[in-house]
Structure 1
Amino acid sequence: MKRLTVSAALARCAIAGVMGAAVLAGCASPEPRYYTLAQGPMAVATLPAATPAPSASTLWLEVAPVRVPERLNRPQLVVRDGGNDASLRLLDLARWSSPLPDELRDALSQRLQATLGAVDTYQQGLSDVQPLYRITTEVLRLDAEVGQRAGATINWTVRRLPDGKVVSGRTQAELPAPGEVDGVVAAYREIVASTAKDIAAGVEALRR
């Protein structure tokens, strides 16, 4: 039987080590990617830099948490599975940066504040301020087919608190969502923008 030289043995050990590291790297799980419905930095810059001091001219809103169906209230994005209306799929590698009800509420609040020049009092600790309008929303449908489309049906209500007068409506949308998950999230952002626009029109109707 031939004996391996020390150098040959070391070479074989080195090769085995490299192969083992490659196998381990191949088995490592890919990291999930996180998505948000918030606007980009340039849009955020249109919001007030700080909460203004209370004044008679300030438009105070309270944007309540958004109600969503429990089937959608997941860390992962939920999409239709191959166009089958009865089948849903969780995208384990595509997740919301915060719970979906919070993502929707914060995105709506951000856009309403920018559109109306208003301030949202929700969770800001403004005990000496009473909002003039309370906004509630409920998602009836929010679904997509990756690479195809995204759609939603969202009910909303604006209540003027001093006298309880209400304006309500429904925003429905069907948009193309080309590409991968990024296309779905972009379409959802457009749907949030349309919803905020409709709600802002409701607020303006009550201000007349």
Structure 2
Amino acid sequence: MMNRIHATRACALAALLAATMLAGCASPEPRYYTLAQGPAAGGASVATPAAPNTEPLWIEVAPVRVPERLNRPQFVVRDTRNGNDAGLRLLDLSRWSSPLPEEMRDALSQRLQASLGAVDTYQQGLADVAPVYRITTDVVRLDADIGQRAGATINWTVRRLPDGKVVSGRTQADLAAPGEIEGVVAAYREILSGAAGDIAAGVQSLRR
């Protein structure tokens, strides 16, 4: 009888140890981040309604073109370990909430709609409105050193349709990004806000 009790306790202890080891070996869940701001995260429209009897300002914000090395679910940051300033590192536990080209497009659209009181016609089937200010952007550089800095260089073009008049420019910034990945996200958001401001000025110059 005593041997059976000891055997039962031994089995229970072994099961507890196995469960503890499995829990300790479980992979941590990744965290997801967005470049959108406020309640419009996820792509919701933040356009300011046009005043009565006025024509809305129509914009079309295309997906942002990014270098293939950055077009990944994971954050890509500079790998400065062991003095390797030229290397890149994937942060598997820090990921974008949507593909990076769409994430950046939605963030720019959100800011442009808010600042211009515009309506983004992208994928809305509004083909008969005019003029439309088509906005394309190319990310030349997007990099960060965790806990230190984050920077970007973004080329952008605004084309007024249907006449095709164009204005283009470049937004470039390097900002402090203290803390962990949250600091990088905050810096990227600020850089995108600056790019949206530059693009909005370009749109306004074509309206004159």
Identify the range of structure 1 (37-46 vs 84-93) with the bigger mean alpha-carbon deviation.
37-46
**Alpha-carbon distance in structure 2 between the residues aligned to 1:46 and 1:65:** 16
Q: Which amino acid aligns with 2:46?
A: L
| Alignment match, 1:18 | 16
Q: CA RMSD in A?
A: 2.2
Residue aligning to 2:205:
205
Give the CA deviation at 1:15: 1.1
**Runs of 4+ in structure 1 displaced over 4 angstroms?**
42-46
1:7 is aligned, of 2, 5, 8, to 5
- 2:206 aligns to what SS in structure 1? helix
2:140 corresponds to = 140
Q: How does 1:1-208 map to 2 (within 5 A)?
A: 4-41=2-39, 47-48=46-47, 57-82=55-80, 84-208=84-208
For 1:195, give the aligned amino acid: A
Q: For residues 33 and 125 of structure 2, what CA distance do their matches in structure 1 show?
A: 28
**Counterpart Cα distance in 1 of 2:57 and 2:102:** 22
The 1:84/1:66 distance shift into structure 2, 3 A limit, reads same
State the secondary structure of the residue aligned to 1:85: coil
CA deviation vs aligned residue, 1:140-195 (integer Å, no higher than 9, x gap):
00000111100000000111113221111100000011111111111111111110
Letter in 1 for 2:184: V
User: Shift in Å at residue 132 of structure 1?
Assistant: 1.8
Rounded Cα–Cα distance in structure 2 between residues aligned with 1:103 and 1:190: 14
Give the structure-1-normalised TM-score: 0.90
The whole-number CA distance in structure 1 between the counterparts of 2:131 and 2:93 is 39
Structure 1: how far apart are the matches of 2:172 and 2:152? 6
List runs of 5+ in structure 1 lacking aligned partners. none
Q: Which runs of 5+ in 2 are unaligned?
A: none
CA shift digits 1:3-41 (9 cap, x unpaired): 853222222211111111000001111111111111122
Single out whichever of 175-184 and 78-87 deviates more from structure 2: 78-87
CA shift in 2, pair 1:194/1:84, >3 Å = farther
Task: Determine if contact 1:62/1:131 at 8 Å carries over to the other structure.
Answer: no
CA distance in structure 2 between the aligned counterparts of 1:207 and 1:48, rounded to whole angstroms = 18
Identity percentage of aligned residues: 73
How many angstroms does 1:42 deviate by? Answer: 7.5
